[in-house]
Amino acid sequence: MRSPRSRRRFRSTALVFTLAAALTPAVPAGATNVLGWQPCERDRTADCATLTLPVTRGGETFPLAVARRRATDPARRIGVLLVNPGGPGASGVSLALGSNRLFGPDVLARFDIIGFDPRGVAGSKPIQCSDEILAQEPRNAPRDQAEFEQLAAYNQRLRADCRRHSGPIADHADTLSVVRDMDALRAALGERRLNYFGASYGTLIGAQYAQHHPDRVRAMVLDGNMDHSLTLPRFLTTAAANGEDSLTEFARWCERDTRCALHGRPVLPRWSELITTADAGRLVESDGVTGVTPDYLINQAYAAFIRVEWTRFAGWLATLRPGTPADPVAAAESRQSLRAHPRPSVFCQDWLPRVANFAEWQRLVTAQRQAAPHLRYSPEAQEAALSCIGWPAKANNPPAPLQLAPGDPILLVNPEHDPATGYSWAVGLHRQAPHRTVLFTYEGQGHTAYPRTDCVRAGVERYLLDQVTPTASCPAAPS
């Protein structure tokens, strides 16, 4: 028998980014200014290296893992294009190694594609925590003050464990520190200016790099934008509204498309019926024994909206029915091993949302439900906020509006219906720096826009190659 599916936290997979000075600035003290390129073990058609950098000024060092896919037409090479897939916690090295399947031939011909694993991630001194502690994670969002205090105590215990296994880098995984690393990498590459492609959380790296090094950016594409100016209530409610918008788009698709297994039935009332049944502990999958909790239902919806897997999701919803779930099986015995777990260290140091007690958390829950009456909340945003409750450290990079000096235009790309980084976040970022940013809209669904359609691909790649910004939005792909 299988246990009812219930998880408080949303586990997302990584999604599949700059400098005119008279002299190239020196690499910061503590860095090694030579990249000893060697063929990568994972792909010998690309080059890999490490750059030794300080965790803090004058402190201990760590190896920054870097990968390069060289321009296929060196005679026409423009420069380097740094890439980051977001997460936080996804590997830029992996994105660079796979860039020959992402970018078009003209971009590959004229740029060295450079990816690096941000500090605390993958090959760059990964933040690791013990499985034993991770297995003790509370399964639900707090339902009263006692559970709120238990969550705060757990987060404090987890942070201490991660620091014990990872060292001081666990306290310095914020995006501003990554920005310093990226500029050290630029200098080590011998580039006066660089180009950048950042997706999802990688947009925050790019935006803050442009803020701190405005003259060192030639072209920058930010796809699926984070708005770092948002307070915690605005972050949670707008994130919830982003997901609600995607659920509404899914319902509209079901109304008009016979491929939807729910076609011919009002989808939003059906969704409300399913989630009410799940609330009562009476919703099961097609096997009649596997329980489906409200959180699991919401997580499945969110994952389907990110990937635009509407047909599969509708088919799964159609199989759910009332029933009696089997009793939960005993949890597997914890293993004494380590697991990479960088997300809380990054997010809490970038935002550190302070929630004083359960009453304050409950007000945030109510606000989310008002913004998203059907979906209720954003799994990723709520996970991020809950992971910081009780966090004892300060925010190294607290939220603030983006301030950009004049310079070459930065391209903000966003789907109109993005459940993870909603269109309102891209609009907000553009309004903070209208003189420096151009908003390029994909009128479709899913998380991030490039390279979903030929129109999006053409607009992004012409900008990277020629610094010509798009003048019109791109229509959605056919359903």
Tens-place pLDDT, residues 208-244: 999 999 999 999 999 999 999 999 999 999 999 999 9
pLDDT digits over 236-285, tens only? 999 999 999 999 999 999 999 999 999 999 999 999 999 999 999 999 99
Kindly state whether residue 216 falls inside one of the protein's structural domains. yes
Q: What CATH number does residue 223 fall under?
A: 3.40.50.1820
Q: Which two tokens stand for residue 409?
A: 């235009």
Cα separation, 414 vs 225, in Å, equals 7
Look up the pTM and report it: 0.91
Cα separation, 390 vs 353, in Å, equals 10
pLDDT digits over 90-124, tens only? 999 999 999 999 999 999 999 999 999 999 999 99
Kindly state whether residue 9 falls inside one of the protein's structural domains. no
Which residues, 6 or more positions from 455, have their beta carbon under 8 angstroms from its beta carbon?
A: 442, 474, 475
105 by Cβ neighbours in 10 Å (0-12 / 13-18 / 19+) ranks as exposed
Amino acid at 57: R
Tally of domains within the chain: 1
Residue 81 lies in domain:
38-126+171-230+400-466
Cα separation, 116 vs 79, in Å, equals 16
Kindly state whether residue 158 falls inside one of the protein's structural domains. no
CA-based torsion, 371, 372, 378, 384: positive or negative: positive
Burial 20-45 (b: 16+ CB within 10 A, else e): eeeebeebeebbbeebeeeebeebee
Kindly state whether residue 144 falls inside one of the protein's structural domains. no
Asked whether 260 and 314 are in contact (CB, 8 A), the reply is yes
Answer whether the bond into residue 88 is a cis peptide, omega within 30°: yes
Give the start-end residues of each E strand in 55-106: 61-69, 79-84
Kindly state whether residue 70 falls inside one of the protein's structural domains. yes
Find the farthest-apart pair of alpha carbons in the chain and give their distance in angstroms, rounded.
71
Cα separation, 278 vs 465, in Å, equals 51
- pLDDT, residue 4, reads 35
pLDDT digits over 181-216, tens only? 999 999 999 999 999 999 999 999 999 999 999 999
pLDDT at residue 84 greater than cutoff 80: yes
Residue for token digits 């060289």? 70
Sheet holding 79-84, edge to edge: 38-39, 47-54, 61-69, 111-116, 79-84, 194-199, 217-223, 410-417, 437-445
Q: Supply φ then ψ for residue 198, to 5 degrees.
A: -125, 135
Q: Hey, which residues does 417 pair with through a beta bridge?
A: 445
How far is residue 156 from each of residues 151, 366, 381, 386, measured CA to CA in Å? 9, 26, 20, 12
Kindly state whether residue 449 falls inside one of the protein's structural domains. yes
Kindly state whether residue 182 falls inside one of the protein's structural domains. yes
Asked whether 140 and 150 are in contact (CB, 8 A), the reply is no
Q: Which two tokens stand for residue 352?
A: 């550190």
Kindly state whether residue 215 falls inside one of the protein's structural domains. yes
